[in-house]
Amino acid sequence: MEKSASERITSALFVVIVSLFFLLPIAWLFLAPFDGQPTYRLKLSDPSLNNFREMSQNPYAYRSLLNSAIFSAGTGLVIILIGAPAAYVLSRVKFKGRDVFLYFLLLFSSVVSGSAAMVPLFLLALRFNILDTYHGVIFILAGGLLPAAIFILKDFTDSLPRSYEESAKIFGASSFRILKDIVAPVIRPGLAVIFVWAFVQSWGNFLIPFIIIRDINKQPAAVMMYSFYTEAGDAVIRTVAAFGLLYTIPVLLMYFYVNRKYGFRFYGGIKG
């Protein structure tokens, strides 16, 4: 595109300044874990892996990462197993009241936030005896993410031809078999993206486990990271640095996986 010299310089300056604004706060995460004497300062002196060794001494560090994996994979699975069949029905069957159903699904999913509903969610967990349980957190997270997952999977299914399902139907396949053997393989890319999305959302979620989980053995990394830097003071900055990086890596890997395989742009709008 043709641009005047002053336009070029303004653009370049803007891009450099904005990039620095986004880069500088995050740079610490990639330097401090390898710094022999980490402080709040952005630097890399005396490089070593001692911080990771120090972190490994903490009995709860790895445990909390495992807990995060359980919460996130559990939520992803529930979303797929429950959301995909629902999305399929909503895509293929024009039952009476479907549009009303979709309308209220959209409305409730945007109105009810974790912050606004935290009291009843806590009481619900108390009453159902799911405080301090894995499935308690998983179902609450799934409840919040399901509507968006259903909408995306429905759009995805809408774009697929029905001819395979119709043929299978004519040859006498049951509804369950059609879903399992014909639909699932075709919408697999959509399922993979939804799983990764639900995983990343749950992996980073702080509020729900913060409210529902009190037992330190079941706390996920989100809450553990917070306890490290609020409760223990400056002394544990080594642990915070190393743990922060380890906790972040899976999210970045998943992002690059989705970006390479399916292109992030299209799914850019999915974030709770």
Which amino acid belongs to residue 255?
A: Y
Q: Which is nearer to another protein, 50 or 272 (CB)?
A: 272
Pick out residues in 4-63 that bind another protein (CB under 8 A): 4, 7, 11, 14-15, 18-19, 21-29, 32, 39-42
* Structural tokens at position 51: 């911080």
Could you say which of 62, 73, 92, 186 contacts another protein (CB under 8 A)? 92
Least distance from C-beta 48 to another protein, angstroms?
19
Pick out residues in 232-261 that bind another protein (CB under 8 A): 240, 244, 247-248, 251-252, 255
Could you say which of 59, 97, 129, 176 contacts another protein (CB under 8 A)? 176
As a whole number of angstroms, the distance between CA 225 and CA 94 comes to: 47
Least distance from C-beta 217 to another protein, angstroms?
18
Region near another protein per CB under 8 A, out of 47-55, 107-115, 186-194? 107-115
Could you say which of 70, 73, 124, 184 contacts another protein (CB under 8 A)? 124
As a whole number of angstroms, the distance between CA 64 and CA 165 comes to: 43
As a whole number of angstroms, the distance between CA 184 and CA 166 comes to: 15
Closest to 201 (Cα-Cα) out of 107, 38, 74, 82:
74
Could you say which of 69, 70, 73, 118 contacts another protein (CB under 8 A)? 118
Could you say which of 5, 163, 233, 235 contacts another protein (CB under 8 A)? 163
Could you say which of 45, 47, 158, 162 contacts another protein (CB under 8 A)? 162
Residue 147, CA distances (Å) to 142, 195, 198 in order: 9, 14, 12
* Structural tokens at position 236: 């544990």
CB 223 within 8 A of CB 213: yes
Pick out residues in 141-160 that bind another protein (CB under 8 A): 142-144, 146-147, 150
CB 49 within 8 A of CB 245: no
Pick out residues in 205-234 that bind another protein (CB under 8 A): 206-207, 211, 221-223, 225-226, 229-230
As a whole number of angstroms, the distance between CA 246 and CA 5 comes to: 45
120 binds another protein (CB under 8 A): yes
Could you say which of 55, 65, 80, 121 contacts another protein (CB under 8 A)? 121
Q: What is the CA radius of gyration of the chain?
A: 23
Distance of CA 84 to the CA centre of its chain: 18
